[in-house]
Amino acid sequence: MLPIRTLVVAAAALCTTALTAPAFAAPVEIQWWHAMAGKNGELLNQFADDFNKAQADYKVVPVFKGGYADTLQAGIAAFRAGQAPAILQVFEVGTATMMAAKGAIKPVYQVMADAGENFDPQSYLPAITGYYSTKDGKMLSFPFNSSTPVMYINKDAFKKAGLDPNAPPKTWPEFFEDAKKLKAGGSACGFTLGWMAWTQLEVFSAWHNQPIATEENGIGGPGATLEINGPLQVRHLQDLVDAAKNKSFDYAGRTTEPEAKFVSGDCAMIQTSSGGYSVFKNNAKFEFGVAPLPYYPDVAGAPQNTIIGGASLWVMGGKTPAEYKGVAKFMTFLSQTPIQVQWHETTGYLPITKAAYEQTQKDGFYEKTPGFDVAIKELTGKPPTANSKGLRLGNLVQIRDIVAEEVEGALNGTKTPKQALDNAVTRGNALLRTFEKTAS
Amino acid sequence: MESRSGHLSWLPHLILVLGLALVGFPIYVTFVGSTMTTPEILSGHMSLIPGGHFVENYLAALTQGMPQLSGVPVARLMLNSLIMALSIALGKMLISFLSAYAIVFFRFPGRMVCFWMIFLTLMLPVEVRIVPTFQVTANLGLIDTYGGLAIPLIASATATLLFRQFFLTIPDELIEAARLDGAGPLRFLWDVLLPLSRTNLAALFVILFVYGWNQYLWPLLVTNTASMTTLVVGIKSMLTVDANTPWHLVMAMAILAMAPPAAVVLLMQRWFVKGLVDAEK
Amino acid sequence: MQRRVVFDGKLLPYLLVAPQLAVTLVFFFWPAAEAVYFSTQRQDAFGLSTVFVGFENFAAVFADPGYLHSFQVTAIFSVAVTLLAMLPALLLAVMADRVVRFASVYKTALMLPYAVAPAIAGVLWLFLFAPGIGIVANALKWLGIDWNYLLNGNQALLLVIVAAAWKQLSYNFLFFLAGLQAIPKSLLEAASIDGAGGFLRFRTIVLPLLSPTTFFLFVVDVVYAFFETFGVIHAVTGGGPSKATEILIYKVYYDGVVGLDLGGSSAQSVVLMIIVIALTAVQFRYVERRVHY
């Protein structure tokens, strides 16, 4: 046995040094918490690197915090602890939560004005910035990665099943028929769905010009109640339940998990974020195509337009002027056309400035990459209505979980689609009311 | 004893081997996964024979910065886990040893109050009061520090109770003899009690090291930067279970996360088993 | 529990207990008090505004069908984990007690899962059973079994139960084995001479003598299933699908950290504290009895 007393002394010494050692020490540093994994994350890190190399005063430190929901939680917990990052990437679902937290954030337009950065809100695409601005057009957060759902098809699987790979299904009835054929024609499953609560209820409703909630989906003011249990949504969920029963639909999770099933070739079709493009491009071993979301042809006005998803960058409150100055400079850096073009073309996220969109067109990128412009066309195809200009609900993060739970309940047969959506509305409304009580 | 009679002597071995196979299977498959490439794992017919990427995967995991971990390599996470586990184990042992010593060998006003205050902590694992404990730790500015990782978990009564049990068995004669030699209480602690306690200390070390290394919820909450997080937490952030998941690295990390506590348990088996069973009493 | 011979000292004993008391006060009593305080408040996510609401949070918690459902899930989960961790452990311990050859090999190998973190245990089992990825999941599919724990709540519950029990098996095994080895062999041999068969001896002698160990392990396993399995749930199912695997401790985390409802989460913490104090009181009575004889 070792001399025990020597050990004790050593241990005590180790303890003391370990417990008092500082965690991290660096000069003017701008923490940027984000949720970008894979290739998207690599490109994000590269942007930060480029910015850091281009000047010497500030150092942007990107920190991956997990999924979108994890990142938001971590940011809020850190704010409460007085440890918030300067920049927090928040998915669009958290927008209302962030907007309500006036003491916790610093609006982007103000950050830019204080720092004297040249900042023209008019240079951004209104379909995107509208989502993150006040009614009078003041930009509260910086739209970094905006997406909208699109459909991806496995062209090889289409050929194998005797379907035309250049004629993806346009309507939901065609979609369900093709799914069955793909399943019969050798695919393990016809289709799967990413971000179901978003793609199949929120965007689905806007795409068919149906309300998601009252008060213009919450944008008109507080007091909104959910309306996702309308006849069309119930009918659609019933169709999905039927597809799950006949095995042409494989449910694989609530967020990005289903994308693995498309990449592996198991599922021949998927509807998910346009930001999934880089995932498929880098991982799929087959030729895939991009197509607009299907619609029910008997619904008047469909397809309308889609609403955006993805995330924006919020500037947190309580930082030093030096940090804010650095943040402003970094946002100017990110708005540069070459950066925006690179981000758009690599990731599949939407371009956020008009210049970047025009540049991409000029470069002929959309001709070279068929289907790449599907997302932006879906988003801007028609002038938005009250039902399709956006969504702004408090506690939406939790409401999405509730919707996902209830939809899972319908898919596994424990409740009917109508019961599931009614439950989702009742439970969701309760959360909306709680949010109004607590919002500062 | 059955084995001596030869009657059905193979049956216990059969059951034990089956049990071992069942218990060891998940670990084995994970190891196999850690020697393959992700496409091999996801091929739908993963082999049960280790692949040829052992060195490559472990080297990549240990030294390469992972984008999911903000470019921090696993070696750094292992170091954090190690510091956390050692701090918890040694810190707990130290404060428990001292407080048990005071409670058993001294009589002072408030002695029972102290004992009960410590004993109460036995009842409430940190998970129950996780959110307020996080608040307190944040108020003290301990987020993202080794202190924040370790100190809140040091508050526990198990070690104190174990030492108290053991100290109560020390014969009075020993103390009297020490007194006659003119040894004060601190001298007695250092010269007599500490050497006598080494088996207990060793056993406790194993239990507490494993406890500290395996913490999950607490480091998940209390660390913000990837360079301060632990390996067990780091694995979860790699495990998005989508098309971006590098399964081969996740599996290698899982093996790396199991290896140190397993090594401690195996190397200190003798004391560990004794300590576990003693801790019960 | 009192020694006859003690040291004198006015200040020293206080200095000796001070470190532990300080840590206990700061990281135990303060948070516990905060939990009670926050359970009567309603706060926004960022902690910018706080309102006193009395027992409203408790009323809301108990009116929430999800909370009662979580109690149910916890009951099923902890009983199943306990049984699944104890019965095979007992069987293996009885067998390990009988063999002479390779005894230490078996013992050492069966000890291993003890060293595995619950979250890692979750990862290991996820890797076997993830639909489309795990080899067991693929085998089940090949056999025509519709395995998708992302949708099927019972399958999800089964998976987290197995993963949690697997990790706890080692602990139970070691205790049962120690308990068995403490039974005097002469007792068993005497029974054997009296003509008692193997199973009869086990039932009439071994099992009663093991009952203190069994009871102890029962309490430990239940506490384990209640609290320490968070990592398993978080890594494998995240409480889903449709909250089928949302045990109480996961709900405290979810409502507090994900749902950002500090008041509701704290109210649940207070309820859990009361449950644990009751559980520990039972265990403590037992512990004290052991101490005295």
ipTM of the predicted structure? 0.89
On the question of pLDDT at A316 being above 90, the answer is yes
Give A274-305 pLDDT, tens digit per residue.
988 888 988 888 999 999 999 999 998 889 99
Report residue C6's pLDDT band, with 50, 70 and 90 as the boundaries.
confident
Q: Write down the pLDDT at residue C213.
A: 86
- How is the beta sheet containing A189-193 ordered, strand by strand? A189-193, A267-273, A149-154, A288-291
Nearest residue of B to residue A62, measured between CA atoms: B70
Query: What's the pTM value of the predicted model, to 2 decimals?
Result: 0.89
CATH number for the A149-306+385-438 domain, one of 3.90.550.10, 3.40.50.1980, 3.40.50.300, 3.40.190.10? 3.40.190.10
Tell me the chain C residues in contact with residue A251 when contact means C-beta distances shorter than 8 Å: 148, 150-151
| Cβ distance of B99 and C120 shorter than 8 Å | no
Q: Please state, in angstroms and rounded to a whole number, the distance separating the CA atoms of residues A210 and A206.
A: 6
Cβ(A437)–Cβ(A112) under 8 Å?
A: no
Give A97-107 pLDDT, tens digit per residue.
898 888 899 99
| Cβ distance of A440 and C151 shorter than 8 Å | no
Residue B59 within any structural domain of the chain: no
- Say which CATH class C62-292 falls into: mainly alpha
Q: Which domain holds residue B224?
A: 69-280
CATH number at residue B232: 1.10.3720.10
Among the listed ranges A57-61, A152-156, A344-348, C216-220, which one has the minimum average pLDDT value?
A: C216-220
Count, residues in chain C: 293
Give B236-245 pLDDT, tens digit per residue.
888 877 888 8
Listed ranges A92-101, B77-86, C218-227; the one with the highest mean pLDDT:
B77-86
Q: Write down the pLDDT at residue A65.
A: 84
Residue (of A369, A422, A429, A379) closest to A399 by Cα position: A429
Nearest residue of A to residue C255, measured between CA atoms: A398
Q: Helical H runs in chain C?
A: 12-24, 30-38, 56-63, 65-98, 103-111, 118-129, 135-142, 153-181, 185-193, 198-201, 207-223, 230-236, 248-253, 262-292
Q: Is C112 touching B (CB cutoff 8 A)? A: yes
Tell me the chain A residues in contact with residue B90 when contact means C-beta distances shorter than 8 Å: 11-12, 14-15
A29-147+309-362: CATH number: 3.40.190.10
Tell me the chain B residues in contact with residue C117 when contact means C-beta distances shorter than 8 Å: 213-216, 232, 257-258, 261
Q: Write down the pLDDT at residue C291.
A: 38
Nearest residue of B to residue C17, measured between CA atoms: B99
On the question of pLDDT at A25 being above 50, the answer is no
Q: Beta A267-273 vs A189-193: how paired, if at all? A: parallel
Tell me the chain B residues in contact with residue C119 when contact means C-beta distances shorter than 8 Å: 214, 216, 232-233, 235-236
What stretch of H or E contains A313?
Answer: strand A309-315
List the domain boundaries for chain C. 62-292
- Report the gap between the CA of A297 and the closest CA in chain C (Å): 30
Secondary structure (DSSP) of B199-254: HHHHHHHHHHHHHHHT--HHHHHH--SGGGS-HHHHHHHH---STT--HHHHHHHH
| Cβ distance of B99 and C234 shorter than 8 Å | no
Q: Write down the pLDDT at residue B243.
A: 80
Whole-number average pLDDT of chain A: 89
| Cβ distance of B151 and A77 shorter than 8 Å | no
Task: Tell me the percentage of chain C whose pLDDT exceeds 90.
Answer: 40
Nearest residue of C to residue A402, measured between CA atoms: C242
Instruction: Choose, out of C26, C43, C44, C142, the residue to mutate when testing the contact with A (most A CBs < 10 Å).
Output: C44
On the question of pLDDT at A397 being above 90, the answer is no
Q: Write down the pLDDT at residue A9.
A: 63
Instruction: Choose, out of B224, B233, B241, the residue to mutate when testing the contact with A (most A CBs < 10 Å).
Output: B224
On the question of pLDDT at C293 being above 50, the answer is no
- Report the gap between the CA of A112 and the closest CA in chain B (Å): 27
Cβ(C116)–Cβ(C167) under 8 Å?
A: yes
3-state class (DSSP) for residue A322: helix
How many interchain CB pairs under 8 A, A with B?
127
Q: Which residues contact C111 (CB under 8 A, 6 or more apart)?
A: B265, B266, B269, C170, C173, C174
| Cβ distance of A264 and B42 shorter than 8 Å | yes
Look at B83 and C32; give whichever has higher pLDDT. Answer: B83
| Cβ distance of A18 and B241 shorter than 8 Å | no
Q: Strand runs (DSSP E) across A102-196, as ranges? A: 142-147, 149-154, 189-193
Give A227-283 pLDDT, tens digit per residue.
999 999 999 999 999 999 999 999 999 988 999 899 988 999 999 999 888 889 888
Q: How many domains does chain B have?
A: 1
A385: exposed, middle or buried (Cβ count in 10 Å: 0-12, 13-18, 19+): middle
What stretch of H or E contains C50?
Answer: strand C50-52
Residue B175 within any structural domain of the chain: yes
Q: Which residues contact B221 (CB under 8 A, 6 or more apart)?
A: A77, B130, B134, C257
On the question of pLDDT at A21 being above 70, the answer is no
Residue type, B64: Q
Domain boundaries for CATH 3.40.190.10 within chain A: 29-147+309-362, 149-306+385-438
Tell me the chain A residues in contact with residue B159 when contact means C-beta distances shorter than 8 Å: none
| Cβ distance of C99 and B13 shorter than 8 Å | yes
Listed ranges A192-206, C175-189, C204-218, C277-291; the one with the highest mean pLDDT:
A192-206
Q: How far is CA A41 from CA A275, A332, A347, B37, B66, in A?
A: 12, 20, 10, 21, 10
Cβ(B272)–Cβ(B255) under 8 Å?
A: no
Tell me the chain C residues in contact with residue B42 when contact means C-beta distances shorter than 8 Å: 132-133
